Amino acid sequence: MAKATAVQAWSGSSRVRALTRDPLGLLAIVFVVGCLAVFVIFPVVRVLAQPGLTEWWRLFTDPRWLRLGGNTFLIAVLSTASAVALGFLFAYATSRPDVPLRHLFKLVAILPLVSPPFVGGLAFILLFGRRGLVTYSLLGLSGDIYGWHGLWMVQTLAFFPIAYLSLAGVLRRINPTLEYAAQDLGVHGLRLFCTVTLPLATPGLASAALLVGIYALSDFGNPMLVGGAFKVLATETYTQITGWGDIGMAAALSAALLLPSLVLFVLQRYWVEGRSYATITGKGSFADPPPMSPAVRWVVFTACSLVALVLLATYAVVFVGAFARTWGVNWRPTLENFEYTVFRGSQLWNSIRFAGTAALGGSFFAVIAAFLVHRKRFPGRAAVDFAAVLPAALPGTLIGVGYILAFNTPPLALTGTGAIIVAAMLFRTIPVGYQAAVAGLAQIAPSIEEGAADLGARPLRTFWDVTLPLIRSAFTSALIFTFIRSMNTLSAVVFLISPGNVVASASILALAEHGDWGQASAMAASLMSAVFLLLLAFRLITGGRLRLFEL
Amino acid sequence: MSMDNTTAHVRIDGVVKRFGGTEAVAGVSLDIGRGSLTTVLGPSGCGKTTLLRLIAGFVEPDAGDILIDGVSQRGLPPYLRKTSTVFQEYALFPHMTVFDNVAYGLRLRGLSRTALTEKVRHTLSLMQLEGLEARYPRELSGGQQQRVALARSLIVEPEVLLMDEPLSNLDAKLRVSVREEIREIQRRVGITTLYVTHDQEEALAISDTIAVMQGGKVMQVGTPRAIYEQPADPFVAAFVGQVNLLRAKIEGGSLRLGSLLLPLPANTPVLESGEEVILALRPEAIRIGAGSAGSEVQGEVVSRTYLGTTVRYRIAVAGQHLTVDDPDPAGRPLLTGVLTLSFDPSRLHLWPAGSDAPLSHQDSL
């Protein structure tokens, strides 16, 4: 017995020794753990600690807050269901070689992912609002259309690409031979779809639904723009701070979103993911799946075309609105809307430099964190792994409120600076880069790194010479994803902006709230154009080698 | 079987390594002679690769020590050890050309440009890789990748070369020619080499010394001949080459095998009457046809497999099955019915039964 414990002490100390002989690695671990503790865990703890008993009590008893919770839940369920259905339609259509225009559909489905999620809300107002193109100019109606119907439609269009992206990956990895095998056994058409294709995609559907659910629950921009009297937890959090200055209640409301969001996240990450039927093999591409019957093909094609048209229309409306003198009244083209917002304002430039800094810093941080967690052995690895993916489950409003609470006082008094916005963007998008880096690392056999060490390369040298070049593509795609998301993010940064540090997304919201539709559209059009141009430039620089969004 | 201390280049001394609750290496001691090629042979999961990784420094032992030239390697990271590894999957750097792969170790040692180029060219020509300098690993055949991996390891002039199943990714024909190449180069360079494999034929063909491992322990160390002809236990006998393992019983000075009574071979250990034993007899030690008295048995053909150069018979003898090869079956009809077999008593091995005799192996023979 004594011998066994002695041996265990030995092996424990050998692990510690392995760390001490790699001081740089130890330093990196301390740095990563420290950053995640301060910028991810601490703000959450601050939010949970802020509300007093009365606020918690009110949250669970006051009918007003209960109704808010009901609203949030209702719209999240509706939007998730319709977004997943649309996402599956697009994923299915684009996975079939016999659907016309499938590459166009792929492209269209990507649009909402690279543009701010609330652009749909803005377009909805321009089309159906009090001075809306359809409602006022064409039909002569005037009235209040703000509410849950519009929000549902807008969120469906905003979030179906998330489901599409997740499901496209799932459908692509299902071996088409299975469908041929089913046909061979005498099944075809709807029966085949219901007995083979759909069951195989079910874990993927569940995963996509949970993912979309997280976005829908915590969506802030769209309910703000088109929700009207239909309020949800995220928007009310903002109102409590800006309208009433009640940070305690704001913290309680944003905390109320945390639990459901966390449940969805944990289900998605640890339960559904392990249940996938999709296979990842080293083999090249499979054969094409069997052709669909003409009737099905045309139904699918028409449905996709319709959605694509609506989606394109929303973007067209925003761009037209940017150049119209006064929307709904005076259609003469003008550049006036750009004058104060884009040409003289610094908001767009702020967005670019903050998002750029966050993307660069965040991608390096993510790669280092992924490397440490998956290549080094140290106590608390699992906790670091969880902290690195946790921000994906944190509602933006919670991060916003958390940062206000956490960084208002020394030693880390960041409120009012650009740094707090960069930090929020950076740590909000960490999971994207982290998971890309983890996937990249999984492709590298550990023996390749051991090979370098074996030939005399010290740990940092191995990381620099071997690991980093081999995960370069994961790194660059992480860089782009985080940049785009940071450019478009609204819910967290809207709490953190200060004069001189206003970013484009927050400015669009403010302008739209004031009814400055033209200027809001100009800003939105500029923001989207900036993202598209930077994406294009990047694609040209990398010679189009980089695959983004399944394209 | 122990080697002379003065020639041991690498000394593995009571090494233990646990993963979770299982002992992957359960107290291994082994001396590796300077300039020799020593093979660690064993089934998958026997701990042989872990042993190699312990020597390379990728994992640290929980107990025991590894000495190279008498110097303890405890706590030394891989990049400070004078060992170099050829990995099973080669582990070539996929983003580097053949030249850069081979030059990598030298670059870390800060060689001048001209000296480096000169040395890489020399090594590449030694490995017959001229003209492939600018290729990437994915553009090479399996055999070429194997040679690049070997070149990358040899160029840094390690004290000890470690090879982890280097041939397992090659097809069967190539395996034979590459293993001869490896042996040839190893002899020419005179480098102390530890070679890990699960392929007993490979081990017999290229080794100076073989250490047979099973369950984290070394079962036997010896020359290929000694391992094959004088296996230390039923496991070694069954793992290296083909063997018939039979249950028998000691009866006075004889061996009881079912209804048969055979004389005990002269070289057997002292066993008490009535003791159960396991008896090993290689197929090539059995001849079909009559022999001298006391070394003959009768058996009935159960099945036969035509293999081209031989016909392999399964023959029922006293309720147990024997595998017997007919080495020259050409022009003869396949045999059926009851046969007379004769065997060479000096090639019969026996051990007390009951230990951990793997009699299940018998059916797979």
A451 contacts in B (CB within 8 Å)? 85, 87, 91-93, 152
Question: What is the largest distance, in Å, between two alpha-carbon atoms of chain B?
Answer: 78
Query: What pLDDT score does B198 carry?
Result: 93
Please compute, for residue B59, the number of CA atoms within 13 A of its CA located in the half-sphere on the CB side: 21
> Is pLDDT above 70 for A379?
yes
Tokens coding A312? 């394109």
A23: phi then psi, degrees, rounded to nearest 5? -60, -35
Q: pLDDT, tens digit, for every residue of A140-169?
A: 666 666 788 888 888 888 888 888 888 887
pLDDT band at A22 (very low <50, low <70, confident <90, very high): confident
Selected for mutation to probe chain A from B93, B109, B120, B194 (highest A CB count within 10 Å) is B93
Q: Do B93 and A11 touch (CB under 8 A)?
A: no
Selected for mutation to probe chain A from B89, B104, B136, B164 (highest A CB count within 10 Å) is B104
pTM of the model: 0.77
User: Could you tell me how many helices (H) and strands (E) chain A has, helices first?
Assistant: 27, 2
Q: Do A453 and B79 touch (CB under 8 A)?
A: yes
Query: What does the DSSP assignment read for A463-496?
Result: IIIIIHHHTHHHHHHHHHHHHHHHHH--TTGGGT
pLDDT band at B363 (very low <50, low <70, confident <90, very high): very low
Q: Decide: helix, strand or coil at residue B337.
A: coil
- Which of A51 and A309 is assigned the larger pLDDT? A309
Of the given ranges (A31-35, B38-42, B203-207, B262-266), which has the lowest mean pLDDT? B262-266
Closest Cβ–Cβ partner in B85, B89, B94 for A454: B85
B92 contacts in A (CB within 8 Å)? 448, 451
Query: What pLDDT score does A140 carry?
Result: 67
> Is pLDDT above 70 for A309?
yes
Pairing of strands B192-197, B160-164: parallel
Query: What pLDDT score does A142 carry?
Result: 63
Average pLDDT over residues B137-157: 90
Selected for mutation to probe chain B from A7, A21, A447, A455 (highest B CB count within 10 Å) is A455
Per the CB < 8 A criterion, the answer to whether A192 and A122 are in contact is: no
Query: What pLDDT score does B7 carry?
Result: 66
- Which of B90 and B257 is assigned the larger pLDDT? B90
Q: Which of residues 448 through 467 in chain A touch B, CB cutoff 8 A? A: 448, 450-458, 461, 465-466
Per the CB < 8 A criterion, the answer to whether A467 and A461 are in contact is: no
Q: pLDDT, tens digit, for every residue of B116-139?
A: 999 999 999 888 888 999 999 999
Task: Scan for tokens 């390697």, then name that residue.
Answer: B73
> Is pLDDT above 50 for B357?
no
pLDDT band at B310 (very low <50, low <70, confident <90, very high): confident
> Is pLDDT above 70 for A464?
yes
> Is pLDDT above 60 for A10?
no
- Which of A73 and A131 is assigned the larger pLDDT? A73
Of the given ranges (A126-130, A251-255, B202-206), which has the lowest mean pLDDT? A126-130
Q: Do B108 and A456 touch (CB under 8 A)?
A: yes
CB count within 10 Å of CB A177 equals 13
Nearest 5°: CA angle at B205, between B200 and B208? 100
- Which of B114 and A185 is assigned the larger pLDDT? B114
Per the CB < 8 A criterion, the answer to whether A219 and A137 are in contact is: no
Q: Which residue type sits at A525?
A: A
A445: left (phi over 0), alpha (psi -120 to 50) or beta: beta
Quote the CA–CA distance of A157 and A87 in Å, as a whole number: 10
- Which of A180 and A73 is assigned the larger pLDDT? A73
Query: What does the DSSP assignment read for A39-73?
Result: IIIHHHHHHHHSS-HHHHHHHHH-HHHHHHHHHHH
> Is pLDDT above 50 for A9?
no
- Confirm or reject contact between A316 and chain B (CB < 8 A): no
Q: pLDDT, tens digit, for every residue of A343-378?
A: 777 888 888 899 999 999 999 999 999 999 988 888
Residues of chain B with pLDDT > 90, as a percent, come to 42
A170: phi then psi, degrees, rounded to nearest 5? -65, -50
> Is pLDDT above 50 for A282?
no
Residues 6 or more apart whose Cβ sits within 8 Å of residue B305: B311, B312
Task: For residue B346, give the nearest of B222, B230, B209, B207 by alpha carbon.
Answer: B230
Nearest residue of A to residue B78, measured between CA atoms = A454
Q: Do A456 and B92 touch (CB under 8 A)?
A: no
Strand order in the sheet with B338-343: B286-288, B338-343, B296-306, B311-317, B320-326
Selected for mutation to probe chain A from B53, B66, B108 (highest A CB count within 10 Å) is B108
> Is pLDDT above 50 for B1?
no
Query: What pLDDT score does A339 carry?
Result: 76
A465 contacts in B (CB within 8 Å)? 93, 104
Residues of chain B with pLDDT > 70, as a percent, come to 93
Nearest residue of B to residue A9, measured between CA atoms = B62
Query: What pLDDT score does B73 carry?
Result: 92
Instruction: Give A30 to chain B, closest Cα distance, Å.
Output: 21
- Which of A89 and A171 is assigned the larger pLDDT? A89
Q: pLDDT, tens digit, for every residue of A491-534?
A: 888 888 888 888 888 888 888 888 788 888 888 888 888 888 88
pLDDT band at A281 (very low <50, low <70, confident <90, very high): very low
CB pairs under 8 A between A and B: 78
- Confirm or reject contact between B19 and chain A (CB < 8 A): no
Task: For residue A82, give the nearest of A162, A192, A199, A189 by alpha carbon.
Answer: A162
Per the CB < 8 A criterion, the answer to whether B195 and B163 are in contact is: yes
Of the given ranges (A233-247, A318-332, B70-84), which has the lowest mean pLDDT? A318-332
- Confirm or reject contact between B87 and chain A (CB < 8 A): yes
pLDDT band at B25 (very low <50, low <70, confident <90, very high): very high
Q: pLDDT, tens digit, for every residue of A36-76?
A: 988 989 899 988 888 778 878 887 788 888 888 888 899 89
Q: Which of residues 39 through 78 in chain B touch A, CB cutoff 8 A? A: 56, 58, 60, 62-63, 75, 77-78
Mean pLDDT of chain A: 81
Per the CB < 8 A criterion, the answer to whether A495 and A503 are in contact is: no
Tokens coding A452? 């370098």
- Confirm or reject contact between A20 and chain B (CB < 8 A): no
Quote the CA–CA distance of A179 and A159 in Å, as a whole number: 29
Query: What pLDDT score does B191 carry?
Result: 93
Query: What pLDDT score does B61 carry?
Result: 93
Q: pLDDT, tens digit, for every residue of A405-436?
A: 888 877 777 777 888 889 999 999 898 889 88
B123: phi then psi, degrees, rounded to nearest 5? -65, -40
Peptide bond into A411 cis (omega under 30): yes
Q: pLDDT, tens digit, for every residue of A72-124?
A: 899 899 999 999 999 998 888 888 878 888 888 888 888 888 888 788 888 88
CB count within 10 Å of CB B47 equals 25
B211: phi then psi, degrees, rounded to nearest 5? -115, 120
> Is pLDDT above 60 for A4?
no
- Report CA Rg, chain B: 24
Question: What is the largest distance, in Å, between two alpha-carbon atoms of chain A?
Answer: 90
- Report CA Rg, chain A: 25
Average pLDDT over residues A434-453: 87
- Confirm or reject contact between B83 and chain A (CB < 8 A): yes
pLDDT band at B160 (very low <50, low <70, confident <90, very high): very high
Query: What pLDDT score does A50 carry?
Result: 80
Query: What pLDDT score does B227 carry?
Result: 93
- Which of A272 and B240 is assigned the larger pLDDT? B240
- Confirm or reject contact between A469 and chain B (CB < 8 A): yes
Query: What does the DSSP assignment read for A183-250?
Result: HHTT--HHHHIIIIIHHHHHHHHHHHHHHHHHHHHH--HHHHHH-TT---HHHHHHHHHHTT--HHHH
Tokens coding B128? 């017959």
Q: Do B56 and A466 touch (CB under 8 A)?
A: no
